[in-house]
Amino acid sequence: MKKVLIIVAGLLLPAIGWSAGGGHTYPDDKIEIDWNDKAAMQRGARTFVNYCLSCHAASYSRFNRVGQDLGIPDDLVLENLIFTTDVNGDKTKVGALMTTTMTPEYAEQAFGIVPPDLSLIARSRGVNWVYNYLRGFYVDESRDGLGVNNGVFANVGMPHVLAELQGLQRPKYQTQTDSHGNEQEIIVGYEILKAGSMTKSEYDRTIHDLVAFLDYLAEPYKQTRKNVGTGVIIFLFVFLILSYVLKKEYWKDVH
Ligand code: HEC
């Protein structure tokens, strides 16, 4: 009997964890990434190196490769995207990988967790998730040190590094009864506590562009792949017409 109970508990546990984790998140918006909008990705790259690269690496990418793909010449990459020095104290080279200067030991001490590499985040989490996450920070005094929580990632370990742009917001709650009849407080909106340097639509745009850059980063070949795909279809179509004409030519005398 005991054994059976343990097995049943083992089967149920993941389900409980799932329902607790996969609950209501806010915000829950969707975005479209325009793969031809290089200007948006360039702006996103700038936000990324200014606000994210100090803690998170994107160590599958090189600065100059990003420059080439997004149409930024090397000298402008050096000037606008690289603010770090290498181990010898020289300015980081344009061909260097986009690593972070923060050591994992330091990060572990400061945040209790090492900030993950963001190279593939747009694929692993999806662009909508990242978009909502970066707009989901809210003031929560109960969280020592950080002072913020997140409507998409509960009890997150990351500080609200874009607070100067977005400002600070406080959640509006609503009581909801879930399918099991339990009442729970869910976040249904935010109100501004302290204004940032940007309006809401400017901030949303900035995050959209940042996510566009992260989406590019996660799949630098997507654009080329799409172009090659179109080329192949056109080639096959032309080939089809040619073979048809040829077939007619060959069989002309037989019939
Ligand atoms: C001060 C250091 C710091 C900065 C700067 C920072 N982050 Fe973070 N970030 C963290 C930490 C720490 C975590 C891990 C949080 C956790 O797991 O609780 C994290 C987690 C994340 C996650 C969730 C990863 C996952 O799937 O678990 C994303 C996405 C993210 N950061 C994006 C960004 C972006 C984009 C920027 C720039 C706007 C940025 N971060 C700037 C420290 C930082």
| Ligand 1, CB cutoff 6 Å, lining residues | 51-52, 54-56, 111, 113, 115-116, 118, 121, 125, 130, 133-134, 156-159, 161-162, 210
Q: Are 91 and 82 in contact (CB under 8 A)?
A: yes
What integer pLDDT is reported at residue 20 of this predicted model? Answer: 43
For the chain, 255 residues long, give each residue's pLDDT as a single digit of tens: 566 666 665 555 555 444 444 578 999 999 999 999 999 999 999 999 999 999 999 999 999 999 999 999 999 999 999 999 888 889 999 999 999 988 999 999 999 999 999 999 999 999 999 999 999 999 999 998 899 999 999 999 999 999 999 999 999 999 988 888 889 899 999 999 999 999 999 999 999 999 999 999 999 888 778 788 889 999 999 999 999 999 999 998 886
What integer pLDDT is reported at residue 17 of this predicted model? Answer: 43
Q: Which atom of ligand 1 is nearest to the CA of 130?
A: 29
Q: DSSP for 57-111?
A: -EEEEEHHHHHHHHT--HHHHHHHT---B-TTSSBPPTTSEE--SS-HHHHHHHH
Q: Whose CA is nearest to atom 3 of ligand 1?
A: 55
* Alpha-helix runs per DSSP H in 112-221: 121-124, 127-133, 163-166, 200-218
Q: How far apart are CA 125 and CA 121, in angstroms?
A: 6
Q: Which atom of ligand 1 is nearest to the CA of 114?
A: 12
C-alpha of residue 158 to centroid of ligand 1, in Å: 5
Calculate Rg over the CA atoms of the chain: 25
Our CA dihedral for 55, 143, 179, 9, rounded to 10 degrees, sits at 80
CATH class of 24-135+202-244: mainly alpha
Q: Which atom of ligand 1 is nearest to the CA of 129?
A: 29
What integer pLDDT is reported at residue 11 of this predicted model? Answer: 59
Of 51, 56, 102, which is best to mutate to test ligand 1, by the most ligand atoms within 8 angstroms of its C-beta? 56
pTM to 2 decimal places: 0.84
Three-class secondary structure of residue 157 per DSSP: coil
Q: How far apart are CA 141 and CA 122, in angstroms?
A: 30
What integer pLDDT is reported at residue 180 of this predicted model? Answer: 87
Q: How far apart are CA 151 and CA 187, in angstroms?
A: 7
Q: Are 217 and 118 in contact (CB under 8 A)?
A: yes
Largest CA distance in the chain: 89
Sign of CA dihedral 68, 73, 75, 76: negative
Q: Which atom of ligand 1 is nearest to the CA of 112?
A: 12
Three-class secondary structure of residue 170 per DSSP: strand
Q: What are phi and psi of 31, to 5 degrees?
A: -130, 160
